[in-house]
Amino acid sequence: MELQIAGVTKESVVDGPGLRFVIFTQGCPHRCPGCHNPETHDPRGGKRVDVTSVLQMIEQTKLLRGITFSGGEPFMQPKPLYSIAREVKSNRLKLDVVTYTGYKFEELLTMARSSEDVQLLLTATDILIDGPFQRGERNLSLAFRGSNNQRLINVSRSLAEKEIVLWDEATIKRFYMQ
């Protein structure tokens, strides 16, 4: 199975808690004014890579806390991303998954009703950072996100409790950065 990516960063400490392998997906429909990654918008840009080769790179990177799907828009390619998420969350690797998206969580729930792949990627995500970057709401003091409207969502609790449950930054540090 293949994936269209803009690139990867093997060791990041700014795209979620702890040391993370980041996959920047290629293709984004949101066109947020002030986007920092405009080169990722064209779905025909970037390069095609095999999921297996991405998993090999992840396995070769030591001391990872988790992986992050960034963009571009990860939910344009939910099937290959889910297959990566499923492997890295296995007992063998035990990594967590952060997914950035320009969609709001509520929109993803609607999309998931007609797309099993969207539903699977959403369910495999531990922390969802949702919503488009809004230049007028830009805030440099936020952890892991760029504008005030973007939320750190605890996906498993939100799905179980049928209402949005947010991670607060102190909890994330306590829970994930020990």
Provide the mask over 43-82, with x wherever binding to ligand SF4 is found by CB under 6 A and - wherever it is not.
Answer: ----------------------------xxx---------
Residue reference for tokens 């918008």: 41
Q: How far is the CB of 132 from ligand SF4 (least distance, A)?
A: 5
Residue 39 or residue 117: which is nearer to ligand SF4 going by CB? Answer: 39
Residue 45 or residue 93: which is nearer to ligand SF4 going by CB? Answer: 45
| Phi, psi at 78, each rounded to 5° | -65, -30
Is the Cβ–Cβ distance between 27 and 77 less than 8 Å?
yes
Task: Give the C-alpha separation, 60 to 77, whole Å.
Answer: 24
The answer to whether 132 contacts ligand SF4 (rule: CB under 6 A) is: yes
| Residue 38: Cβ within 10 Å count | 11
Task: Give the C-alpha separation, 70 to 72, whole Å.
Answer: 6
Residue 90 or residue 139: which is nearer to ligand SF4 going by CB? Answer: 139
Task: Give the C-alpha separation, 171 to 83, whole Å.
Answer: 28
Provide the mask over 6-35, with x wherever binding to ligand SF4 is found by CB under 6 A and - wherever it is not.
Answer: ----------------------x-xxx--x
Scan residues 134-173 and list those touching ligand SF4 (CB under 6 A).
none
Is the Cβ–Cβ distance between 172 and 129 less than 8 Å?
no
For binding to ligand SF4 (CB under 6 A), which residues are involved?
A: 28, 30-32, 35, 37, 40, 71-73, 102, 132-133
